[in-house]
Structures are given as structure tokens and as C-alpha cells.
Chain A
């Protein structure tokens, strides 16, 4: 497990009602299961299947992924700033590996 498996870029502060642009990257091979290794063995499928985003404890966004999402999945989204609180990004893959990134947002 990498030490820094995810990278979320977003402002730390926003005015109430403003749109907050968020960019999220997670380290993951998104192995499709269709590839063969150099000795002819199929490489097993291993993909991130779900990203959930919560804001001040409530779920605001979900992204269900399949093999058609590129390796090291990237998503950008736009959240309305309402209250000061934490945004929590949780990625889960089909092996049950969980990666969590937390980002504080101060709303004035």
C-alpha cells in the first residue's frame, strides 16, 4: 500500500453558495483482467469500483467505475459550499482495499 495513494486538490476556503472545484486522483492500476503477462498468464482483474464523497457527514456524490475508467482514476467535480466541514473521499476496489482522503473546507 502506497504512503500517498491519493491526491485531492481543492481550495481550503470558499464563500457560502460558491461552487468549489475539486480534482481527485487515486493510485490504482485498474487492471482489466484482459491482459496477459509475459509468460502467457492472464493478469487478474483489479479495479476501483466505487468512489463516494461525503460533505459534513452526508453523502453528496458517488462514482461507480468499471474497467473502462483509465488507470490512476481521475475525476473532477463541483460542490456547492454550504457549511464549514470535512469532505471525505473514499475509494474502494474489488479486493476491498479502501483508500480515504480527507479535506477541510471553511465556508464564510
Chain B
């Protein structure tokens, strides 16, 4: 996360990270990130970075927006290795950083499949 924030302060707010409180299956967790922004040339979201606390690779994905986007809002499906915190950090065109963080419980499947 430091590579993204470069030591600057990150404020909580403007970012809404939506993930279920309990994951049906850690292999595919529906995630939505929405950032409040007019998405105008003067004021838009440049990037949103999604981080996992406990995955082997902390950065899940990065999304880069331009004012051509109607909203700084995306949905995707992510993999989560264990119950943990997920964090979304938004980088604005004015350089400010905003974030949201959510906790999620990851359950396991029933029968031991392997098939």
C-alpha cells in the first residue's frame, strides 16, 4: 500500500467499498467500489487500488479512470484467502487520497472436492 500512498496521508471517506459480510465462497466475492466525484476534467478520480490484508499478493487490482467515465464505480469478483480486511484507496486528480475498509468472513466449501 505504501507504494501507492507514498507516505501521504489517507482520509477515510468519499469511497464506498461494498463486499458481503460473509463470503459464500472465497474464490469469487462480488465487490463494488464507488467513489464520489463529479468526474469532470477539473476534478476526477485517477485511480482506485484494492488491497487484501491476508492474500499472498496484497494488491488485488488497480483501476485507472479518466473524465470520460460517467462514474468512478466498478464491480468485479475477487478471491480472498481467509477472513480479513479489504481496503480500497482512491487517488484523486488533485492528489488527495481517500479510502474505505471492510471486514469479511470467508467460509469454506462442504465436501472435500478435489474433483
Decide if A100 is an interface residue (CB 8 Å cutoff). Answer: no
Check if A61 sits within 8 Å of B59, measured CB to CB: no
The minimal Cβ–Cβ distance linking A64 to chain B, given in whole angstroms, is: 4
The minimal Cβ–Cβ distance linking B89 to chain A, given in whole angstroms, is: 14
The minimal Cβ–Cβ distance linking A26 to chain B, given in whole angstroms, is: 12
**Also in contact, A65 and B66, with CB within 8 A (given A75-B75, A75-B76, A78-B71):** no
Number of interface residues of A (CB under 8 A): 29
User: Quick one: which of B63-103 are within 8 Å of A by CB?
Assistant: 63-66, 68-71, 73-80
Number of interface residues of B (CB under 8 A): 29
Check if B57 sits within 8 Å of A68, measured CB to CB: yes
Q: What residues of chain A lie closer than 8 Å to B62, measured between beta carbons?
A: 62-64
Check if B70 sits within 8 Å of A78, measured CB to CB: yes
Q: What residues of chain A lie closer than 8 Å to B77, measured between beta carbons?
A: 69-70, 73-74
Q: What residues of chain B lie closer than 8 Å to A70, measured between beta carbons?
A: 27-29, 76-79
Check if A68 sits within 8 Å of B55, measured CB to CB: yes
The listed residue (B61, B64, B66, B71) touching A69 by CB distance below 8 A is B61
Q: What residues of chain A lie closer than 8 Å to B60, measured between beta carbons?
A: 66, 68-69
User: Quick one: which of B17-65 are within 8 Å of A by CB?
Assistant: 27-29, 39, 50, 52, 55-57, 59-65
Q: How far, in whole Å, are A64 and B59 apart by their CA atoms in the complex?
A: 10
Q: What residues of chain B lie closer than 8 Å to A19, measured between beta carbons?
A: 70-71
The listed residue (B52, B56, B63) touching A63 by CB distance below 8 A is B63
Measured CB to CB, the residues of B under 8 A from A are 27-29, 39, 50, 52, 55-57, 59-66, 68-71, 73-80
- 26 pairs, A vs B, C-beta closer than 8 Å: A32-B56, A55-B68, A60-B68, A60-B69, A61-B66, A61-B69, A62-B62, A62-B63, A64-B64, A66-B57, A66-B59, A68-B50, A68-B52, A69-B77, A70-B78, A70-B79, A71-B27, A71-B28, A73-B76, A74-B75, A75-B75, A77-B73, A78-B73, A79-B68, A79-B69, A79-B70
